[in-house]
Structure 1
Amino acid sequence: MLKIGVLASGRGSNLQSIIDSIEAGELQAEIKVVISDKEGAKALDRAAKYGIANKYINPKAYESKENFEQAMIDVLKKYGVELVVMAGFMRILSPYFVRYYRNRVMNIHPSLLPSFTGLHAQKQALDYGVKLAGCTVHFADEGMDTGPIILQAAVPVKDDDTEETLAKRILVEEHRIYPEAIRLFSEGRVEVKDGKVKIKNRE
């Protein structure tokens, strides 16, 4: 069974969607540990509720970003984590971390990448006037919101949308496609070739 480690900084709604998929038997995986860089993050409470190991690692306690990330790697290794899942983790991982878990770190971003990277992706989409927004699950690489795309879902943009209403509708799709991407990975159906993801035996 696939062993997952989750990195989260906030409420952990995507973490919850993964937990729900596991509980429902839709995803054959086990969340071994949840790590947060924020003390008191709700994601840690969610983990504790389900008996999942959880740990706050204070970035300020380390002399460098690499030392902080090494502390995270040490915890992930302790729990035998095979796939690292970023669920609202608000730090950009360094090349050091990404190289260690090459094509084994997933992230979800609330836009149809490569459009609208970084913060406030929904506002960027509205400001640009796009007719379709959405979300993307991808493998993290050395860039920001770059890396091979695994799955995407589109959401129509309404004329009266605000950043909040659009974000809410995108979040529904995030909760659908993130567990699906993890499921495909767990089944050995995700292959990265020439910087692109190929999904084997896609329905």
Structure 2
Amino acid sequence: MPSIPPQNQAQTPARLVVLVSGAGTNLQALIDATNNPDFGARIIAVGADRDGIEGLDRAERHGIDTFVLPVSDFPDRVDWDIALADQVAEHAPDLVVLAGFMKLTGPAFLALFGGRTVNTHPALSPSFPGMHGPRDALEYGVKVTGATLFVVDAGVDTGPIVAQVVVPVLPDDDESTLHERIKLSERQMLVDWVGRMAREGYTLDGRTITFGDS
């Protein structure tokens, strides 16, 4: 039954490690939110699977520690996953946020951070898992789609759902326009619910997440 305790004024803010692979717009939203002490969390490190990305630059401009672990630097994904788990563990996070991180975490990572790692998906899970949620939603002809915040497990976008937000599909949408609107709602959802997880604490029992000191 993984959990993190609630935060209060006598405690230090919850510690976040954020993993990114690209521009880091979700990361920036979290950085902006954590500048408010009432948010209840602070970002202690940002990691990436490749160098030279704007996400790392954003972190460095805000004085946040960074690290880079390219998969190509390791003999296989198993060794990379072990190294990622070890690197993240050095920062002792309460919560790990995958913010546009385009690699699947594996058994070694989940052994340490299962139940304490969240990710977003640009669709209403369990519909349209995988890399092309907005495209698949359009092709299926749904009238609404959205975004999901979930606790990462061993599957692809299959973990326990923390929150969802609905985005209408407009008649003239293409994949790009729909995805851009989803991203706006996804970003706000991520900030709102990571903040709640940090401030209130939560307990995860199977697929049920309960907030507060239960």
Where on the TM-score scale, by shorter chain, does this alignment land: which range? Answer: over 0.9
Does residue 152 (structure 1) correspond to residue 164 (structure 2)? The answer is: yes
Superposed displacement of residue 58, structure 1: 1.8
Query: Partners in 2 of 1:80 and 1:200 — Cα distance?
Result: 21
RMSD: 1.5
In the TM superposition, what whole-angstrom CA distance separates every residue of 1:51-70 from its partner, at most 9, and x where no partner exists? 00111112111122222122
Letter in 2 for 1:8: V
Cα distance in 2 for partners of 1:162, 1:152 equals 22
Structure-to-structure mapping, 1:63-78, within 5 angstroms: 63-78=75-90
Match of 2:43 in 1: 31
User: Which one of the candidate residues 128, 145, 164 is aligned to 2:140?
Assistant: 128
- Three-state SS of the structure 2 residue aligned to 1:60 is helix
The yes-or-no answer on 1:195 pairing with 2:202 is no
Partner of 1:9: 21
2:186 corresponds, among 151, 169, 174, to 174
Q: Which runs of 5+ in 1 are unaligned?
A: none
Q: TM-score, normalised by structure 1?
A: 0.93
Could you tell me how far apart the structure 1 residues matched to 2:48 and 2:162 are?
24
Q: Which residue identity is paired with 2:202? A: V
Say whether 1:186 aligns with 2:198: yes
Match of 1:60 in 2: 72
Q: Secondary structure at the match of 1:181?
A: helix
The aligned amino acid for 1:111 is A
CA shift at 1:195, angstroms? 1.9
Is the Cα–Cα contact under 8 Å of residues 102 and 141 in structure 1 kept in the other structure? Answer: yes
Q: Give the % identical residues.
A: 34
Shift of 1:132: 0.7
Q: Which residue of 2 aligns with 1:104?
A: 116
Q: 1:164 to 1:195 in 2, by over 3 A?
A: same
Q: Where does structure 2 lack aligned partners over 5 or more consecutive residues?
A: 1-12
Partners of 1:132 and 1:96 in 2: CA distance: 37
1:187 aligned counterpart, secondary structure: helix
Match for residue 165 of structure 1? 177
Paired AA for residue 132 in structure 1: V
Q: CA deviation at 1:99?
A: 2.4
- Higher RCO (CA < 8 A, seq sep 6+): 2
SS of residue in 1 equivalent to 2:60: helix
Contact 1:11 1:41 in 2 (8 A): yes
The C-alpha deviation readout for 1:125-150, integer Å capped at 9, x for no partner, is 00001011100000000000011000
Residue 140 of structure 2 is aligned to residue 117 of structure 1: no
Q: How many residues align?
A: 201
1:48 aligns with 2:79: no
